[in-house]
């Protein structure tokens, strides 16, 4: 068997980014159904926000040049939010409420706490003011013609609110990816199985991968499981290729006699990447099978999670038209030292102390998923690097994925 060198972690990331292009069409999407969808066009503002000057306070609108210390002003109109005001009569003020349009002739709002009534019901102002006080100017948030959102943005609740404030009720989005999920292994049984027989374990990767796909705003369109059998594996891959945009598998990508996924890919497609210098998660298949893009993750649950976060997520973003954003990171000190180095980039599941020191979970096995449930994220130790207490390393919160 020929020895295949491991591809460095960063090189593998770049290779997947460069090899993945959008494979889905576009469709109109109602705003209320647009959460987590990928925007297919730039959004340009067609109105100003706010559309007119308005009051930031409950108070009194006036022209600052009419304001003389101790001199009262009569109230000439009352302006609630949502009502178009009349022009302000000279030498008067207008009772105004938060969000209401500033009348023509007024340029300042004095909050009600800084006023009082005189015996004739006029307003006496206890504070001086400068022109523009408590006035939110027309277009101060968004101006007509301004680019608000760019193509490839994954729509979040704040984006939905922004679009609604612009009067956008329907947006053009890329269609959701239909991802086929394939899990492999004689030892795996569905979670609904009540009694585990000797040698069997529950299939955790299937539900985990489905939820990871859904979290990215896409559809786990079809989910299959096969035993460690080349014919079953090929048939399942053929079936998934017929109605899915992308196939994501776990297990069967190593070099054992019962690992058939890689062989099925080489026989019925092409393999552009295999074996990445990463721990956990060395075996990783990227290519196509039956003319369908394919990503094969390792079968160990922690390896599957790490490689999804870094590689499958990257590919899914690119295939779905989303602008790829690398996960947020910040520097931390480890709470331990280690002289021994390894030849792979290592992603330790770790928690953060109040002093922002990273504490690795004691169980870092690629088959142990519990650490990722109680830790805060990944402490990244680059390949061939020893760990010193005074050396800072990148930390990636799970939430950044």
In 3D space, the residue among 228, 221, 184 whose CA is nearest the CA of residue 206 turns out to be 184
Q: Judge contact between 192 and 206, C-beta under 8 A.
A: no
5-21: average pLDDT = 91
What does the alpha-carbon distance between residue 263 and residue 265 come to, in Å, rounded to a whole number?
5
With a CB cutoff of 8 Å and minimum separation 6, the contacts of 143 are 45, 48
Distance CA(192)–CA(199), nearest Å, equals 17
Strand pairing report for 393-397 and 377-381 = antiparallel
Tell me the two tokens of residue 49. Answer: 């926000």
The mean pLDDT value of the chain amounts to 93
DSSP state of 401: -
The residues pairing with 190 across neighbouring beta strands, listed in sequence order, are none
* Closest C-alpha among 133, 132, 92, 126 to residue 112: 126
CA distance 172 to 162: 15
For the cut 90, the answer to whether the pLDDT of residue 106 exceeds it is: yes
Determine the pLDDT at residue 128.
Answer: 85
Q: What is the pLDDT of residues 222-244, one digit of tens each?
A: 999 999 889 999 999 999 999 99
Name the nearest CA neighbour of 311 among 25, 4, 86, 17. 17
- In the prediction, which pLDDT does 228 show? 87
Sheet holding 92-96, edge to edge: 74-79, 92-96, 59-62, 108-111
pLDDT at residue number 272? 84
Angle formed at CA 200 by CA 199 and CA 203, multiple of 5 degrees: 150
- Looking at per-residue pLDDT, the higher value among 387 and 266 belongs to 387
What does residue 32 show for φ and ψ, rounded to 5 degrees? Answer: -70, -10
What percent of the chain is predicted at pLDDT more than 90?
84
**H-assigned helices in 184-243:** 205-215, 230-243
- Measured between alpha carbons, how far is 62 from 207 in angstroms, rounded to an integer? 63
Q: Return d(Cα 129, Cα 113) in angstroms, integer.
A: 13
Cα–Cα dist 345/26, whole Å: 38
Question: Cβ neighbours of residue 188 under 8 Å, at least 6 residues apart?
Answer: 200, 201, 202, 203, 225
Average pLDDT over residues 345-356: 95
Most confident of the following: 16-20, 95-99, 278-282? 95-99
Least confident stretch, 85-89, 134-138, 257-261: 257-261
347 vs 264 pLDDT, higher one: 347
- Sort strands 292-297 and 74-79 into parallel, antiparallel or unpaired: unpaired
Above 80 in pLDDT, residue 252? no
Q: Are strands 147-149 and 43-44 parallel, antiparallel or unpaired?
A: antiparallel
What is the C-alpha separation between 219 and 15, in angstroms, rounded?
A: 25
Average pLDDT over residues 149-156: 97
Predicted confidence at residue 194, as pLDDT, reads: 84
Mean pLDDT, range 325-347, rounded to an integer: 95
Q: What is the mean pLDDT of residues 319-340?
A: 95
Structural domains in the chain plus CATH codes: 7-24+178-319 (3.40.980.10), 27-46+153-174 (3.90.105.10), 54-136 (2.170.190.11), 330-400 (2.40.340.10)
Q: Quick one: pLDDT at residue 114?
A: 94
pLDDT given for residue 2 in this prediction: 47
SS3 assignment, position 347: strand
pLDDT in tens, 36-89: 999 999 999 999 999 999 999 999 999 999 988 778 999 999 999 999 999 999
Task: Please determine, for residue 1, whether its predicted confidence score (pLDDT) is greater than 60.
Answer: no
Give the pTM.
0.86
Cα torsion through 316, 319, 325, 327, rounded to 10: 20
149 vs 68, which has greater pLDDT? 149
DSSP-derived pairing of the beta strands 74-79 and 92-96: parallel
The C-alpha atoms of residue 251 and residue 249 are separated, in whole angstroms, by 7
> What is the arithmetic mean of pLDDT over 182-189?
92
Q: What are 283's two structure tokens?
A: 């075996």
Residue 74, pLDDT score: 97
Q: Where are the beta strands (DSSP E) in 68-177?
A: 74-79, 92-96, 108-111, 115-117, 123-125, 135-136, 147-149, 170-174
Residue 16 has pLDDT above 70, yes or no: yes
């Amino acid at each position: 068997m020929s020895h295949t060198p491991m591809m460095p972690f960063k090189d593998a990331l770049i290779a997947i980014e460069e090899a993945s292009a959008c494979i889905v069409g576009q469709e109109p999407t109602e705003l209320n159904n647009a959460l987590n969808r990928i925007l297919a066009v730039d959004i340009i503002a067609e109105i100003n926000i706010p559309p007119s000057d308005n009051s930031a306070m409950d108070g009194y609108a006036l022209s600052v040049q009419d304001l003389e210390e101790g001199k009262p002003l009569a109230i000439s109109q009352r302006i609630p939010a949502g009502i178009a005001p009349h022009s302000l009569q000279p030498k008067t003020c207008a009772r105004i409420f938060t969000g209401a349009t500033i009348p023509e002739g007024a340029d300042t709002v004095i909050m009600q706490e800084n006023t009082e009534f005189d015996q004739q019901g006029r307003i006496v102002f206890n504070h001086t003011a400068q022109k523009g006080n408590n006035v939110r100017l027309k277009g101060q948030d968004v101006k007509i013609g301004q680019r608000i959102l760019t193509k490839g943005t994954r729509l979040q609740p704040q984006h939905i609110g922004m679009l609604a404030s612009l009067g956008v009720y329907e947006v053009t989005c890329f269609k959701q990816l239909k991802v086929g999920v394939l899990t492999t292994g004689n030892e795996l049984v569905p979670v609904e199985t009540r009694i585990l027989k000797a040698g069997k374990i529950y299939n955790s990767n299937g539900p985990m991968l489905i939820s990871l796909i859904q979290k990215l705003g896409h559809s786990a369109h079809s989910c299959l499981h096969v035993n460690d059998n080349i014919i079953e594996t090929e048939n399942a891959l053929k079936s998934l290729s017929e109605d899915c945009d992308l196939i994501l598998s776990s297990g069967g990508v190593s070099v054992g006699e019962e690992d058939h996924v890689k062989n099925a890919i080489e026989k019925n497609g092409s393999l552009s990447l295999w074996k990445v210098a990463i721990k956990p998660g060395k075996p990783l298949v990227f290519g196509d099978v039956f003319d369908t893009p394919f990503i094969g993750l390792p079968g160990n649950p922690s390896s599957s999670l790490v490689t999804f976060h870094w590689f499958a997520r990257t590919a899914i973003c690119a295939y779905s038209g989303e602008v790829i954003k690398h996960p947020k990171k910040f520097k931390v000190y480890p709470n331990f030292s280690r002289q021994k180095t390894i030849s792979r980039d290592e992603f330790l599941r770790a928690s953060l102390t109040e002093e922002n020191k990273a504490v690795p979970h004691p169980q870092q096995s690629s088959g142990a998923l519990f650490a990722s449930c109680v830790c805060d994220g990944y402490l990244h130790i680059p390949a061939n690097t020893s760990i010193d207490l005074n050396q800072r390393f990148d930390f990636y919160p799970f939430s950044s994925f």
